Amino acid sequence: MDAFNVKKISYAYKNGKKAADEVSFSVKKGESLTIIGTNGSGKSTLLYLLNGLLTPESGDIEIFGRNITGNFPPELRQRISLLFQNPHAQLFLLSVWDELCLGPLQLGLEKNEIQKRTEELLGLLNIKHLRDRGPWDLSGGEMRKVAFGTCLSVNPDVLLLDEPTTGLDPRSQVEFVDLINELRRAGKTIVTATHDLGIIEDISDRTMVIGEDHRLLTEGNPWDVMEDTDMLLRANLIHRHVHRHCWYAHEHSHFGTHGHEHIQVENKQPQVESQAIKEAIIAMTELDKLKKLLEYWSEHNEEHAKTYLEWAEKAAASGDKELSAVLKEIAENTKKMDGLFEKAKKAVRK
């Protein structure tokens, strides 16, 4: 059974700002879906639409087989918990303990049961030491853990998590991943909006990418999505970045949020310069170095021209004709350098 079946939903905020454009997808019961996309692509908005905080302008949403468009049944609210991107939106009581007790109190659970559940949650989230603290005095990461605790406190069937790892230290991130996987094993349906590309393979069965135009760009298993470098570049989720390694510029595609995932554009270059490589480079003549550099420069010239053109198109789409024209000119001039590089390569071989 589908937990969510979303058909062509669109939404614009009151100021006319479009945030979702004919987005369709489904989430099976017990499935974990991650939603990725750049800032402002509409991830949070999609989560608000899924939990009934917002109503789509057009299209339909079915939750557990019921069409909820414009009529969100209160009993479904109890089954779906949303972790807000900004934990301030979620916490308003005087102590962490009170925050974690509130949901179960509203469900009408027995006092003993509430106390037991809250103790367990404090342990599960490693926040026992925060129980008597005021939620407003906590650090960003601590606040997020407490906010996550309030979601779990009602034992929901569905968790909608908006940037859950923002502000978490490395150990807490690992603990979070473990906890999500425990929740998956317990059969929970989980939808996570995240910029943290490093966790999507660890926490999800499927990933969907929202483009800057607020439309669904692609979806698939996280491994395939993460390997589609061209698509990730188009979605602006990774960027090209130039490093200086030893003696020549070395270009990678970088994932936006963490610097470890180097996809090498130049695949013959080792990622780490060992002592032996350094020595080999020192032993090279200046001419050999130039030959190498020319190969490298000419190989990447085309890539650069393509990137300038892509940005020219983006500038045109956003109405900036002047910038678009200059970027196009840069792209054309860059392209012309292909011929010059070829000439230089021939000349250096003589």
Q: Provide the binding-site residues for ligand ATP, judged by CB under 6 A.
A: 13, 15, 17, 19, 37, 39-45, 85
Residue 19 binds what, of ligand ATP, Mg ion, none (CB under 5 to 8 Å, by partner type)? ligand ATP
Residue 333's H or E segment, with its range, is: helix 321-349
Answer whether 264's CB lies under 8 Å from 252's CB: yes
Identify which of residues 45 and 90 has a Cβ nearer to ligand ATP in the complex.
Answer: 45
**Beta-carbon neighbour count of residue 307 at 10 Å?**
17
What is d(CA 239, CA 223) in angstroms, rounded to the nearest whole number? 19
Site map (CB under 5 A) of Mg ion, residues 18-57, x = contact: -------------------------xx-------------
Minimum distance from residue 79 beta carbon to ligand ATP (Å): 23
Residue 153 binds what, of ligand ATP, Mg ion, none (CB under 5 to 8 Å, by partner type)? none
Identify which of residues 99 and 163 has a Cβ nearer to Mg ion in the complex.
Answer: 163
DSSP assigned state of 130: G
Q: Which of 257, 98, 254 is nearest to 166 (CA)?
A: 257
Residue 85 touches Mg ion, criterion: CB under 5 A: yes
Q: Which of 85, 62, 211, 233 is nearest to 151 (CA)?
A: 85
Q: Which stretch binds Mg ion (CB under 5 A): 82-90, 140-148, 226-234, 303-311?
A: 82-90
**Beta-carbon neighbour count of residue 81 at 10 Å?**
23
Identify which of residues 127 and 203 has a Cβ nearer to ligand ATP in the complex.
Answer: 203
Residue nearest to Mg ion according to CB distances in the complex: 44
Burial class (CB in 10 A: 0-12, 13-18, 19+), 246: exposed
- Tokens 């000419």, located at residue: 298
Minimum distance from residue 265 beta carbon to ligand ATP (Å): 26
Residue 250 binds what, of Mg ion, ligand ATP, none (CB under 5 to 8 Å, by partner type)? none
Residue 42 binds what, of Mg ion, ligand ATP, none (CB under 5 to 8 Å, by partner type)? ligand ATP
Identify which of residues 100 and 193 has a Cβ nearer to ligand ATP in the complex.
Answer: 193
Give the CA dihedral 12, 47, 63, 26, nearest 10 degrees.
Answer: 90
With contacts defined by CB under 5 A, how many residues of the chain interact with Mg ion?
3
Q: Which of 59, 66, 67, 69 is nearest to 19 (CA)?
A: 59
Identify which of residues 37 and 104 has a Cβ nearer to Mg ion in the complex.
Answer: 37
Minimum distance from residue 231 beta carbon to ligand ATP (Å): 17
Minimum distance from residue 127 beta carbon to ligand ATP (Å): 24
Q: Which stretch binds Mg ion (CB under 5 A): 85-93, 117-125, 137-145, 178-186?
A: 85-93
Q: How far apart are the first and last CA of the chain?
A: 70
- What 3-state DSSP class applies to 209? strand
Identify which of residues 196 and 251 has a Cβ nearer to Mg ion in the complex.
Answer: 196
Minimum distance from residue 42 beta carbon to Mg ion (Å): 8
Q: Which of 162, 124, 163 is nearest to 146 (CA)?
A: 124
Cα 176-180-184 angle, rounded to 5 deg: 170
Answer whether 218's CB lies under 8 Å from 279's CB: no
Identify which of residues 84 and 341 has a Cβ nearer to ligand ATP in the complex.
Answer: 84
Applying CB under 5 A, the residues found at the interface with Mg ion are: 43-44, 85
